[in-house]
Amino acid sequence: MGLKGFVDFMAKMGLAVRDDPPKVIDFAARQWGPPANGWTLSVEAIPAAESGDSPSLSIVIRNVGTQTQTLTIPVSKNDRTWIHFYTVELHEANGREVPLAAFGKTALDPARRAELFETELAPGAWNETVLPLGSFFNVRGNNNNLRATASATLSPGLALQSNTTQV
């Protein structure tokens, strides 16, 4: 194990912090859904790893307005991930909806939305959520020709829709 491997191991154990470069999103290369109230939403497939894992979905919300805006995000107790903020639809090429896997049903159960937290995003700021599709959906043997979309409810009566991406 080299120095990088040792530092990665320590970071996984919570004993050290790895100094990763900040994540960069190429906004020009991504497709986006229609903007609404200064927000826009994008989904992009992340190909499966060579190990045979299933693909993931990158969901990015971006403040395209001219002012700092606040979002209220539903979260599980003690969990600040944004998975409850989005509704993801996954369809086969024939239009049939891909059902949630057992883990997805449990993780995305609306009853788990126990708390709300507010976050602000400045103009041009963004947040990315990565959803491993194989963990949340029954995609076994069906990793080709899937189409995904995401939506988010910004406030009562205002839903934000993403583009559609091929997975």
Residue 5 forms part of a structural domain: no
Residue 154 forms part of a structural domain: yes
What pLDDT does residue 167 have? 85
Measured distance CA(82)–CA(147) in Å, rounded:
21
What pLDDT does residue 61 have? 95
- pTM exceeds 0.75: yes
Expressed as residue numbers, the domain containing 141 is 25-166
Residue 157 forms part of a structural domain: yes
Q: How many structural domains is the chain composed of?
A: 1
Collect the ranges in the chain with pLDDT lower than 50. Answer: 12-18, 50-51
Residue 79 forms part of a structural domain: yes
Measured distance CA(153)–CA(161) in Å, rounded:
9
Residue 18 forms part of a structural domain: no
Per-residue burial over 102-140, b if 16 or more Cβ lie within 10 Å, else e, is eebeebbeeebbeeeeeeebeeeebeebebbbbebbebe
Query: Domain with 150 in it: what CATH number?
Result: 2.60.40.2360
Residue 135 forms part of a structural domain: yes
Measured distance CA(16)–CA(8) in Å, rounded:
8
